A = this chain, B = another copy of it.
Amino acid sequence: MDSLHLDQHISQQYNADLEKLRTALLEMGGLVEDQLADATRAIETADGELAEKVLKTEKKVDKFEIDIDKECTTILARRQPAASDLRLVLMVTKAIRDLERMGDEAAKIAKMALALNDDGESPRGYVELRHLAAQVGKLVNVALDAFARFDVYAAIKVVRDDKDIDIEYRSSLRELITYMMEDPRSIKRVMNIMWALRSLERIGDHARNIAEHVIYLVHGMDVRHISPSEIEKQLEKQR
C-alpha cells in the first residue's frame, strides 16, 4: 500500500460500507474475468453452450453495476465523504462502468463464437486470438489486483502493457487482412475473428482505465492521456 490508507471512522457502519464497496467491485471483477476466459475458450473449442453461459453472466454483471452504483450514491448522500474516501467512491462509480463494458465486450466475443458455429469455423486467426486473449486476461487480472492492493506500480505496469497489446492487436489485424486477400471465401469467417480481436483490444483499454483510476485513488492525480514514463516522473516529484 503506497500512500493511501482509508481513514478509520468513528462510525463502524461507515467503515463497513466502504469495505463492502471494495469487495463488491472485486467480486464483479472476478465475474468479468470468468466471462473473458469462457468467451475465448468458446471460440477456440467452438463450444456453443459455453458461449451461452457468457451471455447469461452478462445479466449478473449488469446487476452488479446498478447495485454498486446505487450504493455509491447512498454513501455520497448519507456520509458526505471527503478526501481519499470521496476518491474511493468516485473511483468505484467509474470502475464499475469499465467492468460492465468489459462484460459487454466478452459477450460480443461469445456472440462471435456462436457466429463461427453458424458461418463455419475460420480457417485462420485462432493463434492470434489465443495469444491476445492470454495477454488481455493477464492485464485484467493485474488491474484488479492493483485495485485490491492499492498498488500504484502494478497500475503503471498495466498502462504500459496495454500499449504492447495495442501493437500486438494491430499486427494481428494486418495478418488477418492478408489471409482474407489470399482466400476471399473466408472473409466472413475471418471477420468474426477480427471483431473478437477488436473486443479484446477494448477490454485491454478498460483494464488500463481501471489502473488509471487506481493511480487517481492513491495519489489524487488524474493520469489519463499521460504516458507511463510521464506518470512515473510525476510520482517521483510527489515524494
Give me the interface of A with B, judged by CB distance under 8 Å. 59, 62, 65-66, 69-70, 73, 76-77, 80, 82-83, 86-87, 90, 93-94, 97, 177, 180-181, 184-185, 187-188, 191, 198, 222, 224-225
Contacts and interface: CB of A to CB of B under 8 A. Distances in A.
- A-B interface, 5 closest residue pairs, ranked by CB to CB distance from nearest: A80-B80, A184-B184, A62-B225, A181-B184, A66-B222
Given A77-B83, A181-B185, 17 more contacts: A62-B224, A62-B225, A65-B224, A69-B222, A73-B86, A76-B76, A76-B86, A93-B93, A93-B94, A97-B97, A177-B187, A180-B184, A180-B187, A181-B184, A181-B188, A184-B184, A184-B187
Residue in A62, A180, A198 with the greatest tally of chain B CB atoms within 10 Å: A180
B76 A90 contact: yes
Nearest to A174: B188
Contacts of A70: 222
17 contacts: A62-B225, A66-B222, A73-B87, A73-B90, A76-B76, A76-B90, A77-B83, A90-B93, A93-B93, A93-B94, A177-B188, A177-B191, A180-B180, A181-B188, A184-B184, A184-B187, A198-B198
A83 B86 CA distance: 17
A82 B77 contact: yes
A238 to B, nearest CB: 17
Nearest to A209: B97
A125 to B, nearest CB: 14
Contacts of A87: 73
A187 to B, nearest CB: 5
Nearest to A180: B187
Contacts of A77: 82-83, 86
Contacts of A224: 62, 65-66
A55 to B, nearest CB: 13
